[in-house]
Amino acid sequence: MNAKAKELGMNDTTFLNCHGLDEEGHLTSAYDIALMSRELLTKHPSITNYTTIWTDSLRDGKSALSNTNKLVRNYSGCTGLKTGSTSKALFNLSASATRDNLSLIAVVMKAPTSATRFANATSLLDYGFNNFSYQSFGNSGDVIKEVSVAKGDSDFVNAIYETSPSFLIKKGEESSITYEIELDDFVQAPVTAGQQLGTITYYLKGEKIAEVSLVAQTSVGKMNFFSMAKSVVNNWFSLTRF
């Protein structure tokens, strides 16, 4: 557990047991809990199939169990995530929610009451949703431009986004986003699918905020004798039609 914590960058965390009960030196921080929560949500998204359940029956309906995270029922877009409390740590909560493609995590620790942790988490999430938005400027695989291929068995190759250019922006600053494309007009064969052809850089008020690689959509082989002869014949027939 400690090795995994270090791997995730949880530098304020030391696990001394696996059950989470009070023990001297068994420590973490709100930031580290947020890192762990993000890892869970992004790497194992199916967890929300369970963390969003409000109540469920047990023992063939003879008893029922309610979620200890009251936000699941009361907060729009809530996806989880985990409550906890001990005599020393008091009331804690890692709350997650998604609205309009924006996912946020709010961590509250050592709240004096259970109600306080939910109220504080609600305030934190509200602040995030009210002040920020997640903007997408394209999707991975979208074609940006056709690039000429010199001496290739195909004349062109599509330059596409390697990853999706999407990022967090403060609301009201969307119109301040500009971008700059660096992409050569032609590339020399051979070309390998996924080969970087250029970049697209995004700026907010002149400050760089993201850079995405533009890569080749497909491979293009180098022209050989037979493909060159075919190209010459095709060009000759095209000319003779006129």
Confidence of residue 220 (pLDDT cuts 50, 70, 90): very high
Which ranges constitute the DSSP H helices of 17-113? 30-43, 48-51, 71-74
Q: What is the pLDDT of residues 156-200, one digit of tens each?
A: 999 999 999 998 999 999 889 999 999 999 999 999 999 999 999
Please report, rounded to a whole number, the percentage of residues in the chain having pLDDT higher than 90: 87
> Can you tell me the mean pLDDT for 54-83?
95
Say yes or no: 29 and 70 in one domain. yes
Question: Among residues 57, 51, 48, 8, which one has the least CA distance to residue 28?
Answer: 8
pLDDT in tens, 10-21: 999 999 999 999
Domain identity same for 130 and 147:
no
Confidence label for 66 from pLDDT (cuts 50, 70 and 90): very high
Residue recorded with tokens 């949880």: 10
Query: Residue 232 domain-assigned?
Result: no
- What's the Cα-to-Cα distance from 13 to each of 2, 36, 138, 224, 234, rounded to whole Å? 8, 11, 37, 60, 68
Residue 212, domain CATH: 2.60.410.10
Answer yes or no: is 167 within a domain.
yes
Task: Give me the pLDDT at residue 223, please.
Answer: 82
Q: Are 161 and 216 contained in the same domain? A: yes
First to last CA, the chain: 75
Distance in angstroms (rounded) separating the CA atoms of residues 22 and 91: 13
pLDDT at 61: 87
In a domain, 233, yes or no: no
Peptide bond into 190 cis (omega under 30): yes
Residue 139's φ and ψ, nearest 5 degrees, are: -125, 150
Residue 240 clears pLDDT 60, i.e. is over it? no
Selected residue with higher pLDDT from 139 and 234:
139
Looking at residue 182, what is its pLDDT?
97
Containing structural domain, residue 57: 2-135
Q: Is 14 helix (H, G, I), strand (E, B) or coil?
A: strand
Domain stops at, among 92, 118, 135:
135
Q: What is the pLDDT of residue 125?
A: 98
Give pLDDT, residue 238: 53
Q: Which helix (H) or strand (E) holds 63?
A: strand 63-66
| Residue where a domain terminates, one of 79, 100, 135 | 135
Asked whether residue 242 carries a pLDDT value surpassing 90, the answer given is: no
As beta bridge partners, residue 55 has: 66
What is the rounded CA–CA span in Å between residue 108 and residue 78? 15
Q: Could you tell me if 36 and 131 lie in one domain? A: yes
The CA distance from 182 to 214, in Å, is 9
